[in-house]
Structure 1
Amino acid sequence: MRNLLASRAEMEASEERREARRHGCTAVTELVDRRRAEVTGVLRSVTLRPRRAVPALEAELFDGSGSLRVVWLGQRRIRGVEPGRRTRVEGFVCIQEGRLTMFNPRYELIPSAEELAAVEDVTARHG
């Protein structure tokens, strides 16, 4: 059973790496401190973190090679930013508390295959 789970995780990681390359994004393992980057992957977790007086929405973005912590300062919630959502972020990378981090990046929510199929279905019926 453990091998089956490991192979499934490896397959998912491989798929994420392929998607990142397809979008022309930098792999998390290739990110450089204090450099601008564009990364795509799946949000594994999204958490509201109190940071002194300013709230912060924190997410873990996994691209198949590693994870990037993404933090939106001053945000309690962002519509569509939820676990399992494929997302592209762009901004400056820094190392914060020993972790690769991107603060207040530009982001794009990438539609799932099901969402694209639903749009195509509606378009076909009304087009």
Structure 2
Amino acid sequence: MKRPSVRQRLKSALGSWADSGDQEVRDLRESFAPSGLVSIEEAPERERVRLTGTLRTVTLRPRGGVPAIEADLWDGTGVITLVWLGRRRIVGIDPGRSVTVEGRIGVRETHRIMYNPRYELTA
């Protein structure tokens, strides 16, 4: 029996990795679709919206000498940056955590951003 080449094994491994990422996107979309929440991609700017997704990154990034926590929320359709001003840490706001947020979306340069959103930690 012929053993697969390194290139074939790598291609197979990358293919299964991509499939698992696609499955995660499908799972995220299915989790918020029935609840009537809007996807990040479809959320209108400057209107109050509720979004849900998974936090990808959480960093402490001071703004004008004031502490601020920044987190990227991903729902499978897009990413939005959440910023809590005046905070150094929020218990439960960690990478990989699922959250539902509520607030108004603005745009800074070309990035969508939501300042001081209300948040609810989800399972």
Question: TM-score with structure 2 length normalisation?
Answer: 0.86
Deviation at 1:28, TM superposition (A): 0.7
Equivalenced residue count is 111
Which letter does structure 2 place at the counterpart of 1:75?
R
Question: What is the alpha-carbon root mean square deviation over aligned residues?
Answer: 0.9
Give deviations 1:15-70, integer Å, cap 9, x for gaps.
Answer: 11111213321101101221111000111110000111111100011111111110
1:23 to 23, 26, 35: 35
One-letter identity of the residue aligned with 2:60: L
Equivalence map 1:44-83=2 (5 Å)? 44-83=56-95
Match of 1:22, SS state, is coil
Three-state SS of the structure 1 residue aligned to 2:71 is: strand
Give the alignment of 1:3-14 within 5 angstroms: 3-14=15-26
Q: Say whether 1:89 aligns with 2:95.
A: no
- Partners of 1:68 and 1:19 lie apart in 2 by 18
Q: C-alpha distance in 1, partners of 2:17/2:95? A: 20
Structure 1 Cα separation of the partners of residues 28 and 87 of structure 2 = 27
Where has structure 1 moved over 3 Å in runs of 4 or more? none
Q: Which amino acid aligns with 2:40?
A: V
Provide the residue aligned with 2:112 in structure 1. Answer: 100
Bigger radius of gyration: 2
Identical amino acids, percent of aligned pairs: 43
Q: Is the 8 A contact 1:23 1:40 kept in 2?
A: no
Contact 1:41 1:87 in 2 (8 A): yes
Residue aligning to 1:109:
121
In terms of fraction of residues, the more helix-rich structure is: 1
Q: Structure 2: which 5+ residue stretches go unaligned?
A: 1-12
CA shift at 1:80, angstroms? 0.4
Structure 1 unmatched runs, 5+ = 112-127
